[in-house]
């Protein structure tokens, strides 16, 4: 298979994203699987694809400054790609223009003229960007910015948007069933412990042996909060109600010393396949996967000592990693998500033993999905008692956003 052109693949991937309903991560993964790239080209494709999506508002503002007339979707994607290289990357301007123009097909003349004009007028265009409305400057939808300004204040909302626009660092959790964090650190001098959690390591790249031997799991420290609040013990019976792809499941297995039983459920069989692969690699044996849609299925599972409900949510705490979430969310979704989250809780609470512990968690920073759900759960689910909650906020804690609330029955 000949080596693919990363810019050409990027334009195709951007068009697929804008025309369909697939998440950016899935589109990029498929593009990587279906094309052969040199190692540096893989990194370059990742940078330009995610970079364009991060900066859509900024790039479309620049296009509007350069071209008042209509553009077809293909030409707009080509211009986005070219302008991203010129304004956001350290690529020689002539290389950015020439390589991009070569992909423009019938629009070569137009793309060439607009990109060269953007170079001539670079200083003026940057000034106009700096004077543009905040939604353009930080490349986030107005409705999200207004929500965050209301919840956290204008300064923190700006810091959150800046965080979301910064490429995510790579963190791994040492798999305590096989190795200690210290042992991993000794084999990778470029790695360092993360200050937020002793079991998490910041890496520039993940050593191949760590992956194939199941010595680690790629995981942000924020994802461990819910598991530690639940505190599952060896020998207990635990329900992980929304388990795939298995990061929290495998950490709970580690906390349980791989003893007892975790019933790991998900509505997607495909996602459970991925969970099984991860658990096998990590050497976890105490997990029983089950395909369950909590809002449709009635499955007898028995009772559990502890239950984790890592509910489907808006993902606003992890936009730095799930870059396109900002463009997918609408202002009306948060209330709908709250209703779904509460409905799932009501279906699952009956499986909790008397005296047992349940933790509700999200990777959202929205009160609608967090504190409001806790309030309604206490009011609408008989016997459920709120104990405590923990939250991480990117602008405060320098890790992904997450929320976890502990209940007892």
For residue 54, whether the previous peptide bond is cis, meaning omega lies within 30 degrees of 0, is no
For the chain, what's the residue count? 409
161 is catalytic: no
> Residues 225, 220, 14, CA angle at the centre, nearest 5°?
130
**Distance, CA of 110 to CA of 107 (rounded, Å):** 5
Calculate the CA 275 to chain-centre distance: 17
Catalytic hit among 10, 161, 242, 363: 363
- What SS3 string covers the chain? CCECCHHHHHHHHHHHHHHCCCCHHHHHHHHHHHCECCHHHHHHHHHHHHHHHHCHHHHHHHHHHHCCCCCCHHHHHHHHHHHHHHHHCCCCHHHHHHHHHCCCHHHHHHHHHHHHHHHHCHHHHHHHHHHCCHHHHCCCCHHHHHHHHHHHCHHHHHHHHHHHCCCCCEEEEECCCCCCHHHHHHCCCCCEEECCEEEEEEECCCCHHHHHCCCEEECCHHHHHHHHHHCCCCCCEEEECCCCCCHHHHHHHHHCCCCCEEEEEECCHHHHHHHHHHHHHHCCCCEEEEECCCCCCCCCCCCEEEEEEECCCCCHHHCCCCCCHHHHCCCCHHHHHHHHHHHHHHHHHHHEEEEEEEEEEECCCCCCCCHHHHHHHHHHCCCCEEEEEEEECHHHHCCCCEEEEEEEC
Tell me which residues are annotated as active site. Answer: 363
């Amino acid at each position: 298979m000949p080596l693919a052109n990363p810019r050409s693949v990027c334009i195709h991937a951007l068009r697929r994203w804008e025309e369909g309903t697939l998440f950016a991560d899935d589109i990029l993964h498929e593009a990587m699987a279906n094309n052969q790239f040199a190692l540096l080209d893989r990194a370059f494709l990742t940078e330009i694809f995610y970079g364009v999506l991060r900066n859509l508002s900024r790039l479309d503002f620049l296009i509007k400054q350069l071209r008042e007339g209509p553009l077809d979707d293909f030409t707009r994607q080509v211009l986005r790609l070219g302008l991203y290289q010129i304004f956001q990357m350290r690529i020689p301007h002539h290389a950015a223009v020439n390589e991009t123009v070569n992909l423009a097909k019938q629009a070569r003349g137009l793309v060439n003229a607009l990109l060269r004009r953007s170079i001539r007028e670079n200083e003026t265009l940057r000034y106009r960007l700096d004077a543009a409305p905040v939604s353009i400057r930080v490349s986030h939808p107005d409705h999200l910015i207004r929500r965050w300004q209301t919840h956290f204040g204008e300064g923190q909302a700006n810091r959150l948007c800046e965080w979301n626009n910064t490429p995510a660092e790579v963190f791994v959790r040492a798999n305590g069933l096989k190795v200690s964090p210290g042992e991993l650190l000794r084999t990778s001098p470029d790695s360092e412990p993360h200050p937020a959690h002793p079991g998490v390591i910041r890496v520039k790249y993940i050593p191949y042996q760590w992956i194939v031997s199941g010595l680690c799991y790629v995981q942000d420290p924020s994802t461990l909060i819910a598991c530690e609040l639940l505190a599952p013990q060896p020998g207990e019976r635990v329900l992980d109600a929304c388990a795939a792809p298995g990061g929290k499941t495998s950490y709970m297995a580690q906390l349980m010393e791989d003893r007892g039983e975790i019933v790991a459920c998900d509505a997607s069989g495909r996602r459970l396949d991925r969970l099984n692969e991860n658990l096998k690699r990590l050497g976890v044996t105490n997990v029983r996967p089950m395909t369950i849609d909590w809002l449709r299925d009635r499955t007898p599972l028995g009772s559990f000592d502890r239950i984790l409900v890592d509910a489907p949510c808006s993902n606003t705490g992890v936009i730095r990693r799930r870059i396109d979430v900002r463009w997918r969310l609408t202002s009306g979704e948060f209330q709908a998500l709250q209703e779904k989250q509460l409905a799932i809780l009501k279906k699952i609470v009956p499986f909790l033993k008397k005296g047992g512990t349940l933790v509700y968690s999200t990777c959202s920073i929205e009160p609608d999905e967090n504190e409001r759900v806790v309030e309604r759960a206490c009011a609408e689910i008989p016997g459920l008692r709120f104990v405590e909650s923990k939250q991480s906020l990117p602008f405060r804690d320098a890790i992904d956003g997450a929320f976890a609330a502990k209940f007892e029955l």
